[in-house]
């Protein structure tokens, strides 16, 4: 596995890093307080091609490789985990359309998603259904030329502003997936506020009341909504979140190094205290290890290797756990300052906890990883 970046990849990342430092990091705390990301920022990022990173060029996207996409996720996660969340779910919808969309679905939606004219959101979770996602209770019943959808979805990232929703519902008692534009009759969104983290990810509850969805809006076939469609989406989501967790941990590390350079206690800078050095050393090594796991997953993805799915789960599990550990240490190093709104580390900690829950909780990853371990080791 070669983890060196090509000159093209390096140039792209330098540009994005500068962009994140200029228009994201300085205002991410304000977005967190206001629980929103301004529309102008989404437009600016669209001009940079961010929303079409994984979409083919003939559909208006950038068609960048998965390693580059991952590194960009790291940079976004370093600036704002909430923005990373929008980017993740948008990419999940695009990834599903690229893999399982019909020709018409691709032609209709991918150019709009690539340009950021429409943002996508993935709607699997419901008020009573979380990890046990195969058992979603939303229903789709064929009536003439349309499927009629009824049900509720909850904790949907980007739900307040997305224009296209990928909804998983039971059809003939089997999980199935549907594209539902936000202007579909009977479809409504309600903002969710006061979350612990990802506060500016504009989460929403969705309500579908007798929503007529054209038959052609089914993605895949009846019964593949979880196994193949959600499977594709969640794999992409875990990959983005794993890299975003690396970025979040990197932000914690950078904030802690800077803070310990300038703050004195007992007559010396904090960085001179060995117990501080211990925390910094753990932050550095844990974050490097997480990044390497993400690189491995990205390498396998670019090679089309089926092992990418398990390695992505491993990377997501490790990187999100590391993000929480590193964020806890960052707050500890900052002391009372770290608990205040004057420093971003309190946001990092709140956001890190969400990383362990979204796109499959750590416990679900543990079950999958342990099961795999028992299979491959005699």
Partner 1 sequence: MPDCTAVKAGRVFTLTKWENRVSVMIPNNDIKKTVCTFLNRHIKNHEFQGDEAIFTSALFNSLFAMQLVLFLEKEYRIKVENEDLDLSNFNTLNAISAFVEQKASCDCHEH
**Closer CB to partner 1, residue 99 or residue 288?**
99
- Minimum Å gap between C-beta 45 and partner 1 is 29
Listing DSSP states for 129-195 in one string gives: -SS-GGG---EEEEETTEEEEEEEEEEETTTTT-SEEEEEEEETTEEEEEEEETTSTTEEEEE----
Q: How far is the CB of 147 from partner 1 (least distance, A)?
A: 17
Q: Judged by CB, which is closer to partner 1: 72, or 219?
A: 219
Name which of 183 and 378 has its Cβ closer to partner 1.
378
**What's the min distance (Å) between Cβ of 56 and partner 1?**
13
DSSP states along 87-148: HHHHHHHHHHHHHH--HHHHHHHHHHHHHTSS-EEEE---SS-SS-GGG---EEEEETTEEE
Collapsing DSSP states into helix, strand and coil, what is residue 339? coil
Q: Which of 89, 28, 94, 19 is nearest to 56 (CA)?
A: 94
Given the DSSP bridges, would you call strands 146-156 and 174-181 parallel, antiparallel or unpaired? Answer: unpaired
Strands 164-171 and 120-123: parallel
Tracing tokens 């979350």 back to the chain, one arrives at: 195
Active site residue 190: no
- Given the complex with partner 1, which of 305 and 342 has the nearer CB atom? 305
For residues 149 and 140, the answer to whether their CB atoms sit within 8 Å is: yes
Contact residues toward partner 1 (CB under 8 A) are 99-102, 134, 219-221, 223-224, 226-228, 231-232, 235, 303-306, 308-310, 313, 368, 371, 375-376, 378
| Distance in angstroms (rounded) separating the CA atoms of residues 296 and 300 | 6
Q: Which CB sits closer to partner 1, 70 or 79?
A: 70
* Cα 171 to Cα 260: distance, rounded to the nearest angstrom: 57
Are 69 and 225 in contact by the 8 Å Cβ rule? The answer is no
Closer of 23 and 221 to partner 1 (Cβ):
221
Minimum CB separation from partner 1 for residue 24, in Å? 32
Residue 308: CB minimum distance to partner 1, A: 7
Please report how close the Cβ of residue 371 comes to partner 1 at its closest, in angstroms. 6
Distance between CA atoms of residues 168 and 177, nearest Å: 4
Alpha carbon 242 to its chain's center? 8
Q: Which of 126, 311, 356, 359 is catalytic?
A: 359
CB of residue 134 to partner 1, shortest distance in Å: 7
Burial of 201-230, coded b for 16+ CB within 10 Å and e otherwise, reads bbbbbbbbeebbbeeebbbbebebbbebbb
- By beta-carbon proximity to partner 1, the closer residue of 219 and 270 is 219
Q: Which residues are the active-site residues?
A: 359
């Amino acid at each position: 596995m070669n983890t060196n970046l090509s000159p093209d990849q390096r140039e792209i990342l330098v540009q994005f890093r500068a962009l994140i430092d200029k228009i994201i990091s300085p205002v991410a705390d304000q977005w967190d307080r206001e629980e929103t990301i301004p529309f102008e920022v989404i437009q600016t990022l669209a001009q940079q091609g961010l929303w079409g990173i994984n979409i083919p060029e003939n559909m208006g996207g950038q068609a960048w490789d998965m390693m580059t996409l991952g590194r960009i996720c790291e940079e976004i996660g370093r600036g704002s985990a909430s923005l990373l969340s929008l980017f993740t779910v948008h990419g999940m919808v695009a990834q599903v359309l690229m893999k399982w969309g019909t020709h018409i679905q691709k032609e209709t939606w991918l150019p709009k998603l690539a340009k950021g004219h429409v943002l996508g959101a993935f709607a699997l979770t419901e008020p009573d259904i979380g990890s046990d996602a195969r058992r979603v209770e939303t229903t789709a019943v064929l009536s003439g030329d349309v499927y009629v959808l009824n049900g509720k979805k909850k904790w949907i990232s980007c739900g307040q502003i997305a224009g296209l929703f990928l909804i998983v519902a039971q059809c003939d008692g089997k999980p199935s997936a549907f594209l539902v534009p936000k202007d579909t009759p009977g479809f409504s969104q309600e903002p969710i506020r006061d979350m612990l983290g990802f506060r500016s990810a504009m989460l929403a509850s969705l309500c579908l009341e007798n929503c007529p969805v054209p038959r052609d809006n089914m993605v895949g076939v009846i019964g593949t909504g979880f196994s193949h469609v959600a499977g594709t989406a969640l794999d992409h989501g875990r990959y983005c979140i794993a890299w975003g967790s690396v970025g979040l941990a990197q932000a914690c590390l950078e904030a802690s190094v800077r803070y310990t350079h300038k703050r004195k206690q007992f007559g010396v800078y904090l960085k001179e205290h060995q117990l501080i050095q211990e925390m910094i050393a753990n932050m550095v090594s844990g974050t490097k290890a997480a990044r390497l796991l993400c690189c491995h997953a990205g390498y396998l993805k670019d090679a089309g290797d089926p092992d990418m799915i398990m390695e992505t789960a491993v990377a997501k599990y490790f990187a999100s756990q590391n993000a929480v550990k590193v964020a806890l240490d960052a707050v500890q190093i900052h002391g009372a300052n770290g608990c205040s709104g004057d420093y971003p580390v309190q946001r990092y900690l709140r956001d890190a906890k969400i990383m362990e829950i979204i796109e499959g909780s750590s416990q679900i990853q543990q079950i999958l990883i342990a099961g795999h371990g028992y299979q491959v080791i005699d």
